[in-house]
Amino acid sequence: MLVLMPGLREHVRLSSEIKDMIIADAVLTIAFALLYSGGVGGLRNDWIGFFYFLPISFMAVSLAFILHEYMHKMVAQRFGAIAAFKRWDSGIMITLVSSLFGFLIGLPGATMIYTNRFTEREDGLVSLAGPLTNFAVFIAFMAIGIIANSYFVVGKYINNAIGVTLFISVWLAFFNMLPVYPLDGSKVLRWNKKAYAVTMAVIFAFLYYVAGAAILPELAFALVIAFVFSVIYSGMRMF
């Protein structure tokens, strides 16, 4: 996710950005591990599941989330903007609490873009860079899974790691492409409706590949949550 900010800041501390990214990555890692282990019910019955999924979640989140935000920054800088990731403390709490109850609202922070002169096209391209990066991660791990299972004897843990990485990558793309402000999808849709439609079509194809039709209720629920978040966000300052 990225947020376009009015005005221009000359200095963005790299050390602060790295710290915020590490915190956000850790939060999402824990949140997805909690989600996959059954949330608060899973923790109450058996802690093993949480620690089983923790390393898998760390790998998947570090690839899908960090690269997503990094590409927002790189493309924004290509267009002459100043960009930096900043964590959102309230969003961190929302992320962790939601994962305890069997669903995930991943809002640990966003890439902040500081510029006075972005066009709709530039804003759309910067926004699209994150989800497209998730596509690259998805395709890479899909290929790894196909090759590994075709030519090697792959254990259950490795297959689970590949499957979780596939899901987390495409789920982050889906959530960020929802057409509600300030998510990436709202800017892409405003810039180019065809680009938005094609991107969402690819996302649904990937989601079907990972989870089949059983994912549809979760997608509908995520859309409702995103609209609620949009309403809340519009009435408060994120940072």
Residues with catalytic roles = 69
Q: What whole-number distance in Å separates Cα of residue 116 and Cα of residue 5?
A: 8
Instruction: Render the burial of 109-128: b for 16+ CB within 10 Å, e for the rest.
Output: bbbbbbbeebeeebbbbbbb
Report the DSSP beta bridge partners of residue 113.
Answer: 4, 83
Q: Say if residues 63 and 165 touch (Cβ distance below 8 Å).
A: yes
Q: What whole-number distance in Å separates Cα of residue 179 and Cα of residue 5?
A: 19
Chain centroid to Cα 147, Å, comes to 26
Residues contacting 2, CB < 8 A, separation 6+: 69, 72, 76, 83, 110, 111, 112, 113, 126, 127, 130, 182, 184, 187
Q: Say if residues 73 and 9 touch (Cβ distance below 8 Å).
A: no
Q: What whole-number distance in Å separates Cα of residue 239 and Cα of residue 227?
A: 20
Q: What whole-number distance in Å separates Cα of residue 229 and Cα of residue 54?
A: 27
Structure-token pair, residue 46: 């058996």
